[in-house]
């Protein structure tokens, strides 16, 4: 669907007719959307593996992968802006490259499924975990979320330094909204992993 919007007349209707952009912003948005075409698939794979890692009580690899993804994204965006005339496509390319790196890292991370692990939390007074363990589990997820939502700020800060910042930022804002709408059906697949991963066989199935 992302490819159809970016490469066919469907894009004219979605970007131009439905959203209402035109001119240079429309052309920039189409190019950037083409470069974001891998994002739905990568998001689905990433989310499923994040779910199995959470189910295995291993949240550190999730935050580590996001940190590396953020660094790769920033480096790619800066290099592309310095070496080219820039534009919204830089944001699309950098985002896809960074997400690819993160997806590979979480896919390769050991799940921890099958290892003995107590509950992450418990009712008051019942045997459970310490506050320190709860923090060790939840803090990487908090860091992951913080880095995730810093991504558009990072991309916009790079695009703001491109030769035509207004058009680039405007186009990327449009593209980001369309891309996330198309990603929505698979964006929460981590819940599948959390709910279903309780053994290695279930892990492979997910």
Number of helices and strands in the chain (H, E): 10, 0
Whole-number pLDDT of residue 114: 55
pLDDT band at residue 15 using 50, 70 and 90 as cut-offs = confident
Residue with tokens 């930022």: 169
pLDDT band at 27 (very low <50, low <70, confident <90, very high): confident
| Residue 22: Cβ within 10 Å count | 12
pLDDT at residue 204 greater than cutoff 80: no
10 Å Cβ neighbour count for 16? 17
Each residue's pLDDT tens digit, 156-202: 999 998 888 998 999 999 888 888 888 888 888 888 878 877 777 77
Helix (H) or strand (E) holding 3: helix 2-7
Burial code (b: 16+ CB inside 10 Å, e: under 16) for 30-60 equals: bbbbbbbbbbbebbbbbbbbbbbbbbbbbbb
Decide: residue 193, CB within 10 A, 0-12 exposed, 13-18 middle, 19+ buried.
buried
Whether 93 shows a pLDDT value over 50: the answer reads yes
171 in Cβ contact with 32 (< 8 Å) = yes
Using one digit for the tens of pLDDT, what is the confidence trace for 120-169? 444 454 555 678 878 888 899 999 999 999 998 999 999 998 888 998 99
Burial label for 201, CB within 10 Å (0-12, 13-18, 19+), is: exposed
pLDDT at 129: 64
Distance CA 145, CA 153 (A): 14
Answer whether 69's CB lies under 8 Å from 101's CB: yes
What does the alpha-carbon distance between residue 162 and residue 159 come to, in Å, rounded to a whole number?
5
Whether pLDDT at 112 is above 70: no
63 pLDDT above the threshold of 90: yes
Please tell me the pTM assigned to this model.
0.82
Are the C-beta atoms of 156 and 13 separated by less than 8 Å? no
Q: How confident is the model at residue 97 (pLDDT cuts 50, 70, 90)?
A: very high
Q: Which of 157, 181, 183, 179 is nearest to 169 (CA)?
A: 157
H helices present in 8-130, as ranges: 9-11, 23-35, 39-55, 60-83, 88-108
């Amino acid at each position: 669907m992302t490819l159809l919007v970016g490469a066919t007349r469907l894009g004219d209707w979605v970007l131009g007719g439905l959203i209402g952009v035109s001119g240079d912003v429309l052309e920039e948005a189409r190019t950037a959307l083409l470069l974001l075409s891998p994002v739905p698939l990568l998001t689905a794979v990433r989310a499923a593996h994040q779910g199995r890692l959470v189910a295995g009580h291993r949240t550190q690899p999730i935050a580590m992968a996001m940190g590396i993804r953020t660094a790769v994204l920033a480096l790619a965006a800066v290099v592309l802006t310095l070496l080219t005339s820039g534009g919204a496509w830089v944001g699309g390319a950098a985002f896809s490259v960074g997400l690819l790196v993160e997806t590979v890292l979480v896919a390769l991370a050991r799940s921890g499924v099958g290892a003995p692990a107590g509950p992450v939390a418990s009712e008051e007074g019942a045997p459970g975990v310490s506050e320190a363990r709860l923090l060790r589990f939840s803090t990487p997820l908090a860091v992951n979320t913080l880095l995730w939502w810093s991504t558009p700020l990072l991309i916009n800060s790079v695009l703001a330094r491109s030769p035509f910042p207004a058009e680039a930022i405007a186009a990327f804002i449009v593209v980001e909204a369309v891309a996330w709408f198309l990603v929505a059906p698979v964006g929460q697949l981590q819940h599948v992993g959390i709910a279903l991963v309780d053994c290695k066989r279930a892990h492979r199935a997910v």
